[in-house]
Amino acid sequence: MNLWPRQWWPRTLGAQLVAVTAAAVIISNLAVAAWFELGRERLSLSSQNERLLDRAVSVVTLLAATQPRSRESAVKTLSSGPWQFRLHHDKPPPEPMNEEEASLAARARALLPESRRKEPIIVHIGEPPAGIAVPRRRNPPDAIQVDLPVVRGTRVEMTFFRPPPHAFPPELLIGAVAAIVTASAAAAYVASRVARPLSKLAQSASEAARGGDAPRVPEEGPEDVRRAAAAFNAMTDQVKRTLESQRHLLSAVGHDLRTPITALRINTEFVSDPELRDRLQRTLLELQELTEAVLSAARGVGGEQSRRIDLAALVDSVCADLDEMGKPVVWQTPETAPLTGRPNEMKRAMRNLIENAIAYGKRASVRMTSTPDAYVVTIEDEGPGIPEADQPRVFEPFVRLEGSRSTETGGSGLGLTLVKSIVEGHGGTVALENRKGGKGLRVTIRLPREAITA
């Protein structure tokens, strides 16, 4: 169970480290302050009790040595502030005492002269006796009343008002604030050494996930963070080498296939059987289209430099070209849609999707809208759609679902793979869904306004 409200919890590693450190220092300081305060109260109470007993025994000794007629004036002189004294000649009634009162009575008995220890000693903590002036305070303090023998037949009743608890010492508060500031600054320094490389690592990983050229991560910070950055740099270098090797391999295979395909097409002209010649030429044409698709996939994304383009004008030009060729396409785009990207790749992706909609869905309807953070291109057709179970598969290489889209043979199976690679290389997403009522397929491309910067 999360006891910290989610909206209050910091999101970044640095802020979390500072918050946790500050909370730990605050809790530790509160615990120390509470322990100190409790210890101080106990020490203060013990000191007060010692002062009380010493004062009481000293007064008893003084009054015992004073002439009887002078004792009343001496008592009045000694009574001041929290100390009040009264003489009386009555034997005190026996009163039950609690543990603290009995402990104080025993300690007072030990301090009295040997001749006075056998007489009763009464200690009472609580309300002051009647006739004693209570100090003017907001909260009346506890009174300690001690009744001790002076001489035979004369006793002194001493009342002491405990002072109020001391205010919390400002030194502790100042020290706590200084400790929190110092610990938070140290935590912020450590967090910056950890969070900065991790932030750069996250940015580079995001760039690599979008298909861009991921920058190298600085290998700095603590040892484990440096190792993570070094491992990531080694991984991205290996991925780049692997992709480049695959791209070169596919490009070489595609180029090498062109020559024998051309030779075979020339040789088919010498085939006397018209039916066999047509069948061979159709096969070679399909093989040539597959080769061109492989070459396009080999070029992939990233080979073209990014620049500032108008996505709305690009989509408009693709639709206008197809319309001039007599293709059934209607479109609606905003006036402008500035975007940083690779124009030829984006044009290839849009053309592939619109041509697929025309080929398999009779006609294409293209609509482009914008949100505060993205551009959305929607392409709809009027075909049979694609079963939901097969929709994720159409983006895989060489997967063709012509049976679900058309009775004619589909393309090479690389078109949608290339579309997905281009769109994701620009930081976007492409999604398929069947329109309601079986009215066709809807393809939605979502591109962030600042797709890539590399």
**243-278 b/e (C-beta count within 10 Å ≥ 16 → b):** eeeebeebeeebeebeeeeeeeeeebeeeeeeeeee
Listed in sequence order, the residues at least 6 apart from 210 whose beta carbon sits closer than 8 Å to its beta carbon are 424, 425, 426, 427, 451, 452
Question: Percent of the chain, pLDDT > 90?
Answer: 8
**Secondary structure, 3-state, 362-374:** CCEEEEEEECCCE
Q: Which of 209, 235, 265 is the last residue of a domain?
A: 265
State the average pLDDT over residues 381-396: 80
Residue 1 lies in a domain: no
State the average pLDDT over residues 85-103: 79
Same-domain check for residues 363 and 397: yes
What the block records as the tokens of 316 is 């408009």
Helices 343-361 & 311-324 angle (0-180, nearest 10): 40
In the predicted structure, residue 73 carries a pLDDT above the cut 60? yes
Same-domain check for residues 128 and 201: no
DSSP readout, 278-312?
HHHHHHHHHHHHHHHHHHHHHH-SSSSPPEEEEHH
Range with lowest mean pLDDT among 56-60, 274-278, 415-419: 415-419
Same-domain check for residues 147 and 182: no
What the block records as the tokens of 139 is 């909260």
Q: For residues 151 and 211, which has the higher predicted lDDT (pLDDT)?
A: 151
Range with lowest mean pLDDT among 14-23, 66-75, 259-268: 14-23
What strands lie across the sheet with 429-434, from one edge to the other?
A: 329-332, 364-370, 374-381, 441-448, 429-434
Alpha-carbon gap, residue 147 to 145, rounded angstroms: 7
State the average pLDDT over residues 213-221: 74
Question: Percent of the chain, pLDDT > 70?
Answer: 74
pLDDT at 368: 93
Same-domain check for residues 137 and 243: no
Q: For residues 439 and 377, which has the higher predicted lDDT (pLDDT)?
A: 377
Give the best-scoring range by mean pLDDT among 99-103, 188-192, 377-381. 377-381
Same-domain check for residues 52 and 135: yes
pLDDT at 313: 92
Burial of 107 (0-12, 13-18, 19+ CB in 10 A): middle
Same-domain check for residues 28 and 152: yes
In the predicted structure, residue 395 carries a pLDDT above the cut 80? no
* CB atoms closer than 10 angstroms to residue 163: 13
State the average pLDDT over residues 257-286: 79
Listed in sequence order, the residues at least 6 apart from 212 whose beta carbon sits closer than 8 Å to its beta carbon are 302, 425, 452, 454
Range with lowest mean pLDDT among 15-19, 282-286, 433-437: 15-19
What the block records as the tokens of 284 is 């070679």
For residue 311, name the pLDDT band (cuts at 50, 70, 90). very high
In the predicted structure, residue 199 carries a pLDDT above the cut 70? yes
Q: Which of 128, 161, 194 is the last residue of a domain?
A: 161
Q: For residues 26 and 133, which has the higher predicted lDDT (pLDDT)?
A: 26
For residue 329, name the pLDDT band (cuts at 50, 70, 90). very high
Under 8 Å between Cβ of 233 and 225: no
* CB atoms closer than 10 angstroms to residue 172: 14
Same-domain check for residues 115 and 47: yes
Residue 3 lies in a domain: no
Alpha-carbon gap, residue 24 to 22, rounded angstroms: 5
For the chain, what is the mean pLDDT? Answer: 76
pLDDT at 447: 92
Range with lowest mean pLDDT among 39-43, 195-199, 261-265, 351-355: 39-43
Alpha-carbon gap, residue 325 to 123, rounded angstroms: 114
In the predicted structure, residue 40 carries a pLDDT above the cut 80? no
In the predicted structure, residue 409 carries a pLDDT above the cut 50? no
In the predicted structure, residue 276 carries a pLDDT above the cut 80? yes
Same-domain check for residues 34 and 149: yes
Q: Residue 204's domain spans which residues?
A: 171-265
Residue 298 lies in a domain: no
pLDDT at 171: 66
Q: How far is CA 35 from the centre of its chain?
A: 34
Listed in sequence order, the residues at least 6 apart from 184 whose beta carbon sits closer than 8 Å to its beta carbon are 18, 21, 22, 25
Number of domains comprising the chain: 3
Alpha-carbon gap, residue 341 to 334, rounded angstroms: 18
For residue 91, name the pLDDT band (cuts at 50, 70, 90). confident
Residue 282 lies in a domain: no
